[in-house]
Amino acid sequence: MDILAKHSALAARHEELLRLGVDPFAVRLDEVLSPTLAVVRGRETILLGTNNYLGLTFDPACIEAAAEAARTLGTGTTGSRIANGTYGLHRELEEAFARFLDRRSCIVFTTGYQANLGMLVGLAGPRDVILLDSDSHASIYDGCRLSGATVVRFRHNDPEDLDRRLTRLAGKGECKLIVVEGLYSMLGDVAPIDAFVEVKKRHGAWLFVDEAHSFGVFGEHGRGVAEAQGVDREVDFVAGTFSKSLGAVGGFGASDHPAFDHLRFCSRPYMFTASPSPATMASTRVALQRIAEDPGLRRRLWDNARRLHEGLSALGLVLCAPASPVVAVRLADERSAVAAWNRLLDNGLYVNLALPPGTPGGLCLLRCSVSAAHSSDQIDEACARFARVADELDLRVPA
């Protein structure tokens, strides 16, 4: 039997997508003009699906820091953190994150995906129980599997269901770790972390929050949803990524636990991966400083998020959550979602096409992510292009 025959059903589904138009998973940005504009298929296109929430990918200070680090320290580390891959920049960035988050210590990882893998593998083991929000990111699911812990899913954003499951688990497992996200990346809905904190306290559990899409976006200082809800001190472990608000590639984990740094020699995803490049460390540190010093970035982001949400709602489109930097439009089925995505791209607007099984509840979505770098005119133009496609394909919901 062909070793790749197991993927034939997925391959057939992909072929069907190709027959409906452009391959949504292979869009090429031929030229990137700014955080919000690129040339796609020869046309200037508004980017509304990049996760570039604060628009820092073209920040001059970040670019210069990356270039200087590459000039003086080279293009890569060629080693893992525990071998030859820890540079002064890595330690300096960890200290900067710890200060920003007001945490005792921080560990930097090579990607956001590995931050979740490395944290969960180091925190939980075969004698423990992980209670996992059912809508969690793939990296969280994979980290749970690698940990060897017993995994129990609870209903999305449902503290009462979590409470019931913890009650049933009384006396089972050495430690119980609750894992949730701050802002969920597909629908743009926010976790009730304050309520999860109360459940955690009742049952003597530990709480892990992935603030990947909420870091730099929520809270007075930009620390995430837990800060915005006034409970960041009650979260035991926090993880995040560089690839959203920080405009780079990498990840971090932080905690006040006095033994947190033990993960450096017991977490395989940390121990056996080459460390982030000097350029990444340098640009991320400057981006972190920009977030700390310029709250106007968050204000512009939220102004744009509300403007887009209101504009698309006024068109009669079905939106999946209240206004946030992620605005997801729900379509009736896969064929209509693919058709709408193609027509938007034809109209010079790039959004994310999100389809099952990568979406919660089997939903078919056009996922938009807003940036502080978008102008009001770009947001309005994006809504106008949505309106044209909605009229053409009859996507509006009758009043």
Q: Could you tell me which of 211, 149, 222 has the C-alpha nearest to residue 180? A: 211
Any catalytic annotation for residue 185?
yes
251 close to 90: Cβ distance less than 8 angstroms: no
How far is the C-alpha of 75 from the C-alpha of 209, rounded, in Å? 32
Q: Could you tell me which of 97, 100, 102, 169 has the C-alpha nearest to residue 131? A: 169
Which entry of 176, 244, 309, 374 is annotated as an active-site residue?
244
How far is the C-alpha of 46 from the C-alpha of 233, rounded, in Å? 39
Any catalytic annotation for residue 213?
yes
Please name the residues in contact with 336: beta carbons below 8 A apart, sequence gap of 6 or more. Answer: 364, 393, 395
128 close to 173: Cβ distance less than 8 angstroms: yes
Q: Could you tell me which of 106, 135, 102, 128 has the C-alpha nearest to residue 220? A: 102
Let me know if 130 is exposed, middle or buried by CB neighbors in 10 A (0-12, 13-18, 19+): buried
Q: Could you tell me which of 381, 349, 385, 354 has the C-alpha nearest to residue 367? A: 354
Which two tokens mark 383?
């809504």
Distances (CA, A) of 47 to 51, 314, 351: 10, 21, 7
Any catalytic annotation for residue 203?
no
Which entry of 147, 185, 243, 277 is annotated as an active-site residue?
185
Catalytic residue set: 185, 213, 244
